[in-house]
Amino acid sequence: MYNMYTLENGLRIITERIEHLNSVSVGIMIQNGSRNETEELNGISHFIEHMFFKGTKKRTPKAIVEEVENVGGQINAFTSKEATCYYIKALNTHLDLAIDILSDMILNAKFDPEEIEKEKGVVTEEINMGEDSPEDVLDDEQSKVSFGNNSLSYPILGTISKVKSFDREKILNFIDEKYTPYNSVLSICGKFDEDELKKLIEESFGDWKAKEVYKPNYTTPIIQSEAGYVNKDIEQLHISLGLKGLPYGDRNNYALVLLNNILGGGASSILFQKVREELGLCYSVYSYLQPFQGIGTVNIYTGLSKIYAPKALEVIDKEIIKFAKNGITKNQLEINKEKIKATYILGLESTSSRMFANAKNYLLKSTVFTQEQVIKKIDDIDEQNINYVLDNCFKSGVLNASYVGKDVDFNSLNNVILKDTKAYNNSLNQDKVQI
């Protein structure tokens, strides 16, 4: 059962009570990520995520994590393109502690200059670690070729030079503008007493004030038809291919999830069966969705020997064309409805998964669908939804590509996979829109 309300200061609250559990997950999600940054401040949202753990007026950095772990709980955070989330999962008997610590971190962080300098070294090593991962390098390169100069292309971690330029003043100014109760959601899922919880929330978050109401106003990019390559001394060639997707919250997203599942969502998918099982060209090949506010992409990943890359790309291209043209059978439609319903329902067995989903839906779309409503939306996927997605997402084919590997002639690979994008490029003469 969901309960949604808003405090006087503008902070939105969503709770989901599950009586039969003895745990609770609490998260504060802010609509701020790398997409909200300027080029000069790229990476500051992620850096701030780290700094909220570096001490408050009443807790040392060690005390923040120790108090949670001493009662068997878990505390963590993440930064994405469009949101940052701080969360705790614990036994429901420690709900008051979880809310107190999260509010203390968000409202009373010290941002000690010495801690800021130390954390620059930590984040620098995190960036270096990402540079050692070809998949991470590939993701960042794919964002660049997909979104051009738009802030959606910015790496979440930023760059070492940008991180080294952050100081206390820049951090506090950014927080004053972007971290407000108006663009935040507090999400709680698990076992709790509703009346007691309301009192705890008011006591902990009621005094959170903001100088101004901040609501992100994104410029929606046009998906580019470009290619990128990073030369890296590794054994495999890692490839990411980009197609049109759908924005977060689009009414046809369930149909896109279903079609993506058929194309490259598992071991029985078209791409896995053709590229790996039938031809033996790779170990890993799959497709996945990246929905953002106002825009989305479908991405295909594979890692393989560069010797096999031309053949694999040729096969992937042919399968996408065939998929877009022929569509799916009624039997495939019904089977995959059951698959995605099962995936959705299994995901609900974790309080943290439900807490994240509730927070994101309420934060970005101001609504939450019940389990019954989601199942009905899946059951209601029909031929019209399927054809809409095939026409809008797959018929254009692969629009962009990125490669990470050693001494690769990526231009010849582009000739295989990006040969039909001239007409698409000619259609990009349109004005950008605001959402």
Q: Would you name the residues annotated as active-site residues?
A: 49
**Other beta carbons within 10 Å of 57:** 9
Nearest to 82 by CA among 391, 363, 369: 363
Angstrom distances, CA of residue 7 to CA of 95, 181, 182, 199, 301 = 19, 9, 10, 11, 43
CA gap 153, 123 in Å, rounded: 20
CA gap 203, 200 in Å, rounded: 5
Which residues neighbour 338 within 8 Å (Cβ) at sequence distance 6 or greater?
none
- In the block, tokens 């004005």 appear at 431
Which residue type does 306 have?
K
Angstrom distances, CA of residue 314 to CA of 239, 275, 411 = 13, 10, 14
CA gap 138, 192 in Å, rounded: 43
Helix (H) or strand (E) holding 9: none
**Other beta carbons within 10 Å of 311:** 14
- In the block, tokens 């409202």 appear at 107
SS3 of residue 28 by DSSP:
strand
Positive or negative, the Cα torsion across 32, 35, 37, 42? positive
CA gap 197, 384 in Å, rounded: 45
Nearest to 140 by CA among 236, 230, 45: 230
Positive or negative, the Cα torsion across 110, 208, 178, 84? positive
CB 404 within 8 Å of CB 130? no
